Amino acid sequence: MSEQQPVVRVWTGAVRTQDREEYVDYVERTGMEAYRSTPGNLDAWILTRDLGDGHTEITTVSRWESMAAVIAFASDDPERAVYYPEDDRYLVERDDRVRHYLQRA
């Protein structure tokens, strides 16, 4: 039996640094909860990076058993970012497309 390599899904956006903690809490309750409750999700993280200009970059990273599991979460267009109702309130920049990688090690 051949093992399938996990798929890593990466999305990036930016918020005002003053909104960072509130937005991270919001993403934890929305996107992270949705990732983690979808069958086939292996794990997920939120990363933050202060850009020094009053903005903070937010990156979500999730790991999936297969692309089929990603599609179960993201729909038939798995490269399209998934947004939630309050995202517009916080985001000053956003990637509308996500990137997928095969985990090699």
Largest CA distance in the chain: 51
Tell me if 90 sits within 8 A of 23, measured CB to CB: yes
Reported as a single tens digit per residue, the pLDDT across 9-31 is 999 999 999 999 999 999 999 99
What local confidence, expressed as pLDDT, does residue 51 receive? 98
Reported as a single tens digit per residue, the pLDDT across 29-48 is 999 999 999 999 999 999 99
Kindly report the number of other CB atoms within 10 A of residue 49's CB atom.
12
Q: The pTM is what?
A: 0.92
**Average pLDDT of the residues of the chain:** 95
Cα dist. 21→16, 26, 53, 54 in Å?
10, 9, 17, 14
